[in-house]
Amino acid sequence: MDLGLINGYAAVALLMTGLYIVLAYDNPIKRLIGLSIFQAAIFVLYISMGRIAGGTAPILAEGIERYSHPLPHVLILTAIVVGVAMLALGLALIVRIHEEYGSIDEQHILELEREPDA
């Protein structure tokens, strides 16, 4: 079996797993984990598509005719940094919500918001 197909199947499995976690759970921490899994699947898919069979690093040398393009790898590195920042911001918001309401359960917070101040 071709390595590209295996990577494609792995990416689709990770995509579906991440999407299921985001849609099925109400816990915001689990949703952030699902988003991270979804994002990792996109990284795997994008890097797999950017691979050139027989290609080497883009360093000029004698006898090398095929080079891999470095742009997909650079874009994925940037996306990893953005993803880590997104995860950190999401976790910081969850911590702040827990400090304010004493819970991260969405239904409990909505009930607290509906109660009139006495």
Q: Do 49 and 35 form a contact (C-beta atoms < 8 A)?
A: no
Confidence class of residue 32 from pLDDT cuts 50, 70 and 90? Answer: very high
pLDDT on residue 96? 96
pTM (whole model) above 0.85: no
d(CA 39, CA 22): 12
Q: What percent of the chain shows pLDDT beyond 70?
A: 98
What's the token pair of residue 50? 């950017």
Angle at 20 between CA 36 and CA 7, to 5 degrees: 60
Domain locations in the chain as residue ranges:
3-53+68-114
Pair of tokens at residue 54: 């027989």
Span 50-67, pLDDT tens digits = 777 777 877 888 888 888
Please count the residues of the chain: 118
Give the per-residue SS3 of 24-70: HCCCHHHHHHHHHHHHHHHHHHHHHHCCCCCCECCCCCCCCCCECCC
Indicate the fold that domain 3-53+68-114 takes in CATH: Helix Hairpins (1.10.287)
Judge residue 110's burial from the number of C-beta atoms within 10 Å of its C-beta, 0-12 exposed, 13-18 middle, 19 or more buried. Answer: exposed
Give the other-Cβ count within 10 Å of 114's Cβ.
7
